Structure 1
Amino acid sequence: MIHMVKLCVGVASVEELESYRDERAHWWDADYGEDVHVHRTRMMPKKRAEMENLSSIYWVMSGTISCRQRILRLAPYTNAEGKHYCDIIMAPDIVRTVPYPKRPFQGWRYLRPEDAPPDMDSNDNENSAELAAELARMGLI
């Protein structure tokens, strides 16, 4: 199993990503059903078999890995001009993670399970998430 990490361009917070959850598939003109979240990216992962229904995409917002979504499937897509893409079809549930700083990069990167930030406990509240993000920015966690 291998995860994916990707910048969530134009989205500054987990709450903002949650607000887009239901409408994003329509942005891509992708119809994979009601209970999924879709993101289109340029390249299909070569490690596709290690990812489908096994791993998560970890979203980077404002320089910090803040949350993840389980990857259900990676589907090839070709537009009307013949350009190839990869549709990342994800579970709609967004799981907050302990915030980890991450510098900007283009596209997406693989993320080994041992390098992935742990999930926040369900008992953690927004204040502890903000505190963890600040500690991560300071390099203390």
Structure 2
Amino acid sequence: MDKVVHLVKLSVGSESPETLVAWQHTYAASFPDGLPRHITRMWPKRESEILNGGSIYWVIKGSIQCRQRIVRLDEVTGADGVRRCAIVLDPEIYLTQAALKRPFQGWRYLKPEDAPADLPVSRVNDDILPDELNRALAEIGVL
């Protein structure tokens, strides 16, 4: 069986998964395929594992709150002539169980067994808990 690995990344400036979606929707319109992407300086060394079913897990306000499937990695060159990696994403966002994450720079690999589970479909439309309550529940492992 082929290995899978995910990425985890801070969504700086996002207040919620909904604000992440709104920002991506606006930005994705500038690309011919209309797919959202995250452009990063580094090219993942574990590309084949990422493209074997990996997702990017988004950290919003100190906890992983959602994920998106990674569709492909595109090479892009910035205005400065530097080669970068565009992580092209499926526009569908899956809400996940909250998982606390300390701030870090760039992205990190995330093993499937360490990734938070998707929220059951029955909970996707639940009211969002206040940040402090969400954090407290995540700290004791309830979410």
TM range (shorter): 0.7 to 0.9
> Partner of 1:45 in structure 2?
44
> Partner of 2:126 in structure 1?
126
Question: Structure 1 regions of 5+ residues with no counterpart?
Answer: none
1:90 aligns with 2:89: yes
> Partner of 2:116 in structure 1?
117
1:33 aligns with 2:33: yes
Deviation for aligned residue 1:37: 1.1
Deviation for aligned residue 1:100: 0.4
Mapped to 2, the partners of 1:116 and 1:32 lie a distance apart of 31
The aligned length equals 135
| RMSD of Structure 2 on Structure 1 (CA) | 1.7
Q: Are the aligned partners of 1:24 and 1:39 in contact in 2 as well (CA < 8 Å)?
A: no
Residue 5 of structure 2 is aligned with which of 2, 6, 28?
2
Q: Are the aligned partners of 1:66 and 1:99 in contact in 2 as well (CA < 8 Å)?
A: yes
| TM-score with structure 1 setting the length | 0.87
Deviation for aligned residue 1:82: 1.4
Q: Percent identity?
A: 44
Question: Structure 2 regions of 5+ residues with no counterpart?
Answer: none
Deviation for aligned residue 1:22: 1.4
1:12-31 CA-partner distances (Å, limit 9, x unpaired): 101111212311235xx6x2
Mapped to 1, the partners of 2:77 and 2:70 lie a distance apart of 20
Q: Which moved more, 1:80-89 or 1:5-14?
A: 80-89
Mapped to 2, the partners of 1:85 and 1:2 lie a distance apart of 20
> Partner of 2:14 in structure 1?
11
SS in 2 for 1:97: strand
1:40-80 CA-partner distances (Å, limit 9, x unpaired): 11111000111125110000000000000000001111123
Mapped to 1, the partners of 2:23 and 2:50 lie a distance apart of 24
Matched letter for residue 71 of structure 1: I
1:74-104 CA-partner distances (Å, limit 9, x unpaired): 1111123211211010000000000100000
| TM-score with structure 2 setting the length | 0.86
